[in-house]
């Protein structure tokens, strides 16, 4: 188990310059920034992330990790959805078209939806929606027969960022903590409903992908374990280096034999088998 998780360690990453192409505020404090990275001719897979330098100083503070929402390989442009919550993201929100930024990429691993899966649930909380929108687009293109249910939960209507899902033509079900849109309550309540729905002519859910706040992912894990479903969670631990050097992002994994492994989320993850994570 540990070897499989750590086998991605040989991946290459690049420290490059990029340019702000566009910055849009979708809802109060919620932005999508489009960054053109002319020197990057590789690709991105859903779940992978970048580290962006979020200040003006030459050596500056630590880079900030962000999932990739969408990547246009021909235009060499990536889109990142973020919530401006602290000094780095507030600095990022003030960047204008044409400004230069430093980026470290591509980082981390990606979701691995089993080949045999027929129907899957994507469960997003807050800004955790970004890698799951990327995954939904990717699957639509590469696995058109796969059925998916997209479930999105957030604190309130603004944090649902519905325009992002509309842009991606994703028909999602919503839950809000304050009841301002969709189901009033937890997104995992929607998950249980979707999985237990009686469906004629439709396969049963056989895999769950999730990304969001830790308590939400822990609740998804309980559903997955109870129903014996496979799944993966993309962890959003606090990170510093993003390349496995500082051990600032260690997660605890339970192996098949009951032993425990400590893995760096940035290198062995951020996507990990949900049933193995010790939240």
**Site for ligand FAD, residues 205 to 244, rule: CB under 6 A:** 236-239
CB of 274 to ligand FAD, least distance (A): 16
Helices (H), 129-268: 129-142, 157-160, 162-167, 187-196, 214-227, 265-268
88: part of which helix (H) or strand (E)? helix 87-93
What is the C-alpha separation between 55 and 244, in angstroms, rounded? 22
**Site for ligand FES, residues 259 to 278, rule: CB under 6 A:** 264, 266
How many of the other CB atoms lie within 10 Å of CB of 178?
11
**Tokens in use for 114?**
């089993």
Interface mask toward ligand FES for 214-253; x: CB under 6 A: -------------------------xxxx-xxxxxx----
Applying CB under 6 A, which part among 9-17, 85-93, 158-166, 198-206 lies near ligand FAD? 85-93
Query: Residue 83 interacts with ligand FAD (CB under 6 A)?
Result: yes
List of E strands, the chain: 14-27, 30-36, 49-52, 64-67, 70-72, 77-83, 100-107, 119-125, 147-154, 172-176, 183-184, 205-211, 230-234, 250-254, 260-264, 271-273
Q: What is the largest CA-CA distance in the chain?
A: 60
In this complex, which beta carbon is closest to ligand FAD, that of residue 88 or of residue 153? 88
Applying CB under 6 A, which part among 17-25, 34-42, 80-88, 189-197 lies near ligand FAD? 80-88
Applying CB under 6 A, which part among 16-24, 59-67, 155-163, 190-198 lies near ligand FAD? 59-67
CB of 68 to ligand FAD, least distance (A): 8
Query: Residue 8 interacts with ligand FES (CB under 6 A)?
Result: no
Pairing outcome for strands 100-107 and 49-52: antiparallel
Binding site for ligand FAD (CB under 6 A): 49, 64-67, 80-83, 85-89, 127, 130, 236-239, 270
């Amino acid at each position: 188990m540990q070897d499989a998780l750590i086998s991605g360690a040989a991946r290459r990453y690049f420290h490059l310059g990029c340019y702000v192409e566009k910055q849009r505020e979708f809802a109060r404090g919620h932005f999508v920034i489009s960054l053109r990275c002319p020197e990057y001719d590789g690709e991105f897979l859903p779940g992978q992330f970048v580290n962006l330098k979020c200040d003006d100083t030459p050596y500056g503070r630590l880079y900030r990790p962000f999932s990739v929402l969408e990547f246009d390989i021909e235009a060499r442009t990536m889109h990142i959805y973020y919530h401006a919550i602290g000094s780095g993201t507030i600095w990022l929100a003030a960047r204008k078209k044409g400004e230069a930024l430093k980026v470290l990429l591509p980082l981390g691993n990606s979701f691995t939806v089993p080949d045999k899966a027929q129907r899957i649930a994507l469960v997003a909380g807050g800004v955790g929606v970004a890698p799951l929108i990327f995954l939904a687009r990717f699957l639509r293109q590469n696995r058109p027969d796969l059925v998916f249910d997209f479930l999105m939960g957030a604190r309130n209507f603004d944090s649902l960022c519905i325009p992002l899902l509309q842009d991606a033509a994703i028909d999602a079900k919503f839950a809000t903590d304050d009841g301002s849109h969709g189901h009033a309550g937890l997104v995992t309540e929607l998950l249980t409903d979707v999985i237990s729905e009686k469906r004629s002519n439709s396969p049963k859910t056989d895999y769950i992908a999730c990304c969001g706040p830790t308590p939400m992912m822990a609740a998804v894990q309980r559903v997955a374990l109870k129903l014996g479903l496979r799944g993966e969670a993309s962890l959003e631990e606090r990170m510093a280096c993003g390349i496995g050097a500082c051990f600032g992002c260690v997660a605890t994994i339970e192996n098949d034999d009951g032993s425990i492994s400590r893995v760096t989320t940035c290198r062995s993850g951020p996507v990990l088998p949900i049933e193995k994570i010790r939240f």
